[in-house]
Amino acid sequence: DADVTQTPRNRITKTGKRIMLECSQTKGHDRMYWYRQDPGLGLRLIYYSFDVKDINKGEISDGYSVSRQAQAKFSLSLESAIPNQTALYFCATSDRSGSRYNEQFFGPGTRLTVL
Amino acid sequence: QKEVEQNSGPLSVPEGAIASLNCTYSDRGSQSFFWYRQYSGKSPELIMFIYSNGDKEDGRFTAQLNKASQYVSLLIRDSQPSDSATYLCAVYFGNEKLTFGTGTRLTIIP
């Protein structure tokens, strides 16, 4: 089984709908991240969490919210989806004990289309 | 603002040749550096990390770091068609986050 899983893998929705993307990990890592990827813009950090009680905004958090339900679960919500949130979304994890190196492990991604 | 710059490419290299990918970054105090490979529509996967000046080799891959010049590169020897992908440079600036470049698209020509 994959160490970092994301559901759904693909989603098409309409403007104004509420959407939740879920991420689960079995790596035992403390740190979890949400990124979006757009062509030509690379990976941009939306939110990150270093433990269940620690949530931080990334560079593009407007229009998004997150919930860290447990060490292994980190969800991203779009309260009212808009077309420019159409993108590929990745969840990632990293281990605090290796913080100097900060290697991140990525889930398979969710392709979200907002019509 | 912490920045990581890469040439977006595409970079075309004949099969069997050496592919050279480059990355510059904005902060002299940066601590560690990563190269990720990403196939189209797939997630990034780590192929190399480096934190000391000089070269680090792993199989056909060599990462080169020059902190004085704020420059990190990735060399791929004996390039194979399966190396065709986008390569992302990422830098840990010590702010508890990785900052990614926009990636260089590499195409290996058979």
Best B36, B98, B105 residue to mutate vs chain A (most A CBs within 10 Å): B98
Task: Give dist(CA A43, CA A40) in Å, integer.
Answer: 9
The answer to whether B32 contacts chain A (CB < 8 Å) is yes
Strands (E), chain B: 4-6, 11-14, 19-25, 32-38, 45-50, 54-58, 61-66, 71-76, 85-92, 98-100, 104-109
Q: Distance of CA B92 to CAs A1, B4, B49, B84, Å? A: 29, 10, 11, 26
> Residue A72: exposed, middle, or buried by beta-carbon count in 10 A (0-12, 13-18, 19+)?
middle
* Best CA proximity match to B34, nearest among A99, A90, A102: A102
Look at B29 and B90; give whichever has higher pLDDT.
Answer: B90
Nearest to A106 among B41, B43, B101 (CB): B43
Q: What pLDDT, on a 0 to 100 scale, did the predictor assign at position A100? A: 55
Residues in chain B with CB shorter than 8 Å from the CB of A30 are: none
Residues in chain B with CB shorter than 8 Å from the CB of A102 are: 32, 34, 92, 98
In this model, does residue A47 exceed pLDDT 90? yes
Q: What pLDDT, on a 0 to 100 scale, did the predictor assign at position B29? A: 79
Tell me if A42 and B32 make a contact (CB, 8 A cut-off).
Answer: no
Q: pLDDT averaged over chain B?
A: 92
In this model, does residue B78 exceed pLDDT 60? yes
Task: Give dist(CA A3, CA A112) in Å, integer.
Answer: 22
Q: Which amino acid is at A34?
A: W
Give the chain A residue nearest B9 (alpha carbons).
A40
Look at A22 and B9; give whichever has higher pLDDT.
Answer: A22
Tell me if B102 and A41 make a contact (CB, 8 A cut-off).
Answer: yes
Q: What pLDDT, on a 0 to 100 scale, did the predictor assign at position B104? A: 95
Q: Which residue has the tokens 């890469």?
A: B6
Q: What pLDDT, on a 0 to 100 scale, did the predictor assign at position B92? A: 87
Cβ(B106)–Cβ(B85) below 8 Å? yes
In this model, does residue A1 exceed pLDDT 70? no
> Residue A115: exposed, middle, or buried by beta-carbon count in 10 A (0-12, 13-18, 19+)?
exposed
In this model, does residue A101 exceed pLDDT 70? no
Q: What pLDDT, on a 0 to 100 scale, did the predictor assign at position A54? A: 93
Q: Report the length, in residues, of chain A.
A: 115
Q: Residue A111: which pLDDT band, with cuts at 50, 70 and 90?
A: very high
* Best CA proximity match to B20, nearest among B4, B9, B32, B33: B9
Q: Distance of CA B104 to CAs A16, A58, A98, B13, B38, Å? A: 35, 23, 27, 13, 10
Q: Is A96 helix (H, G, I), strand (E, B) or coil?
A: helix
Tell me if A103 and B46 make a contact (CB, 8 A cut-off).
Answer: yes
Q: pLDDT averaged over chain A?
A: 92
Please give the average per-residue pLDDT across B20-38, as a whole number: 91
Residues in chain A with CB shorter than 8 Å from the CB of B96 are: 48, 50, 99
Tell me if A108 and B96 make a contact (CB, 8 A cut-off).
Answer: no
Please give the average per-residue pLDDT across A34-45, as a whole number: 91
In this model, does residue B105 exceed pLDDT 90? yes
Please give the average per-residue pLDDT across B21-45, as a whole number: 91
Q: Residue B8: which pLDDT band, with cuts at 50, 70 and 90?
A: confident
